[in-house]
Structure 1
Amino acid sequence: MSNTRDTQESQSSQKSQDSQNSSKPNETAQKKTARKQTAPKRPSPMDVLRQARGQLAELTGMEAESVSSFEQTEEGWALEVEVLELERVPDTMSLMASYQVELDTDGQLTGYRRVRRYERGRSDARRPGGR
């Protein structure tokens, strides 16, 4: 009878060790998952574009029609956004503006300025030297 009890205790001890050993890899996976969840997620370029357009519209009261320039910088992001400033009839006479918009690495607007104003139907004037 004692042999049976020793075998049961031995099996019980082995199961306990097995469950401890099998939980260690699982704990490591849980720690990695926890680190990923706590690390700040950088916004994707499309998220940055959406945020920039929305924030500019909220600040200026004018909807962005398009983004004509977009680049990542050391400080965050730099965009040039085309905005309808004054709607006229015919539409080709509406006044448009280009805004230079700067965002931090999280996609939050840090500054903007109007760099150009033009009629929708006009192309850029050719400058001497082909620029």
Structure 2
Amino acid sequence: MALSIPEIVEKTREGLAKVTGLELSTTLGATKEERGWKVSVEMIEKHSIPDQMDILAVYEAILDDAGNLIEFNRKGLRKRVDTEEIEREIG
């Protein structure tokens, strides 16, 4: 049986946490592609005080149809407060 998007996102969270040691902040997107699933997430690279100064990293992960992490890449870094820059990159 095929995995649902929530299941793929959970597998991504678990897989990236294991290989990076980082905590998931948010899921940016998930797309079914020919070779599996492409999921984009933000992970917390560094906690700061105040929280708005946390350093977030955008990761892109590729999972096979069974939900196994087969590839991941860090695509960028930003401070949590810097929302305008990430919106420009995504839009």
Does the alignment reach a TM-score above 0.5? yes
Deviations 1:72-110 (A, max 9, x none): 001110011111100111111110110011111111111
The structure richer in helix per residue is 1
- Give the TM-score taking structure 1 as reference length: 0.63
The equivalent of 1:71 in structure 2 is 31
Q: Which runs of 5+ in 1 are unaligned?
A: 1-40
CA distance in 1 between counterparts of 2:64 and 2:14 reads 15
The equivalent of 1:51 in structure 2 is 11
The structure richer in strand per residue is 2
CA distance in 2 between counterparts of 1:123 and 1:46 reads 25
Identity %: 28
The higher relative CO (CA closer than 8 Å, separation ≥ 6) is in 2
Q: CA RMSD in A?
A: 1.5
- Give the TM-score taking structure 2 as reference length: 0.88
Q: Which runs of 5+ in 2 are unaligned?
A: none
**Largest Rg, 1 or 2:** 1
Alignment size in residue pairs: 88
For residue 124 of structure 1, report the CA deviation from its aligned partner.
3.2
Residues 50-129 of structure 1 mapped to structure 2, 5 A cutoff: 50-125=10-85
